[in-house]
Structures are given as C-alpha cells and as structure tokens.
Amino acid sequence: MTALTTGRTVARTARPFHTHEGAGFPVRRPFPTAELPFVDPFLMIDQVGPIDLAPGEAKGAPPHPHRGFETIQYVLDGDIANADSRGHRAVVRAGGVQWLTAGSGIVHEALPTPEFLASGGRQHMLQIWLNLPARLKGVPPQSQNAEAADLPVAVAPEGAAITVLAGTSHGVTGPFETRTPVLVAHGRLAPGTGAEFTAPTEHNAMVYVMRGEATVAGEHLPDGHLAVLARDGERFTVEAPDTAAEVLVLTGEPIGEPVARSGPFVMNTPAELRQAEHDFRKGLMGRMPV
C-alpha cells in the first residue's frame, strides 16, 4: 500500500487500563486516567468485550444518575435494554446506538435483554462520554436512537470502510443531532487499507484501536491503545499495513471550560457537583418506574 499523505502528527499515546463498571462487567479504558483526564470535549472511552458469555453471565448497569454531559452507547454485539426516569425505553441491538443527552439530570439503566441473558452470546460495545458546555448543562434530557441500518457507511479511497455515527466524513453524515461539533466514526480496515480523515486545526482528534493493530499518522498503535493527535494540520491518516484493524475516530471542538466531575456528574465547579448530588437524592432527576 502506498503511504498516505500525513498532516497531523501524534502528540501522545495512552495504553488502556482494565476495571469493572455497572453490576461488575469488565471494561478496557484508555482514558480518563491521572495522566490523561480527558481530551476536550470527550470525557471517556470504555470498551466492553468482545467477550463470549454463557447463559446467565451478561451484566449491565442498574439505575444510576447523570447530569451535565452526553453518553454514546454503541452496541457492536449483543442487546442492551435502556430505560430512564423520563419513561423512555428502547432496545439497542447489534450495530445500533443510543445517544443520551443527560443535560439537567436523568436516571438511566442499561441492562442485557432477558433473551440475551438467557441465551448468552458475544457482548461487545463502546461507551463514550461527551461533555456539554456550561450553557447547555441545564437542557432537558433527550434520548436519540439509531439502528445499524440508520448509520451510513462510506468506503475511503484507500479502502477502509467508515461507519459515521455523528458528524460528516468521507461524504456521509451520521444521523445524530449533536450539541457541539464532533465526529464519531468507526473504521474497519482490512490488511493493506487505510483512510484519511480531516478536522479543523482548532479541533482535538484521536484514534483508539478497538481491535488489531494500526498505524496512525505514521506511528504504530497496538490493540487497545489511543493516539491523541497534535493540532498541527487538518489531515491525519489511519492504516492497517499488515493485519486487520478496527478503530474509533473522534474529533471535536474543545469547550475550554473547567471540568469538575464526580462519578456520574460532570459540571464546571465543585458547588455544582454538590447541587447535582443533592438534587439526585431529592428525586429531582426523576425516579425509575416500578
């Protein structure tokens, strides 16, 4: 494969650490860490699986609150049943996405469907947290959902297949309404293929390797590692020279505001965090229906 033209360079890389979330399901997380607390405007990437589960082994996230940011649940394998304190219910099946704007506050659960729990199977998903600017942290909560068929797929001239969840890349635009300018894309690269992405120089950009190994802006990136790109150009390249790879590409306009976070709340000040905790305890974010 002919090397692609390189614009942006890699500013830093991060390896993931392993932890557990929800009812105890394992996740692989490149950030937040003490060394990399966030990549403005993105707050977190968690990868669950891929893992093959026996009947009865699937776990999810029981009811929990959110305020001040957005969650992007991208289900690659398995089924997730979502419900929230505003009465919204939806099952996200393989290839689908739920984009939840927590805004002023919501209580949410994400559990395996009874059918998936009973049968078992492969579970694989991404959970991405996206910050909201102060002026939008109080917006009413909103849930957007898309099935696999709703997500456009483009084929880059260099051969990679690009599924676009949000923003525009390679001539296609994702179905989700976003509060701030972002690109969320899933690249599937066969050996010897690649893709070139563009982002304004004032936007942050990063590439996370979900599977396999990739070359990002000319630097090798192993499975599970993240490359944060410098703002030294508008273009950057992702390639799979020798083995197949899947990558998550994220770009976004930095919010540039203080970030105060505690568990499920992301605000601008510690006082706002205390208010969020108080409002949740008082039931002001709603309660899950019995």
What is the C-alpha separation between 153 and 173, in angstroms, rounded?
9
pTM (2 d.p.):
0.94
pLDDT at 22: 74
Residue 1 has a pLDDT of 38
Give 134's DSSP letter. Answer: G
Position 268, amino acid: N
pLDDT of residue 28: 95
Measure the CA angle with vertex 129, ends 128 and 134; round to 5°: 155
In this predicted structure, what is the pLDDT of residue 2? 39
CB burial string 189-222: b at 16+ within 10 A, e below: beeebbbbbbbeeebbbbbbbbbbbbbbbeeebe
pLDDT at 200: 96
pLDDT given at position 281: 95
User: Low-confidence residues of the chain, pLDDT below 50?
Assistant: 1-5
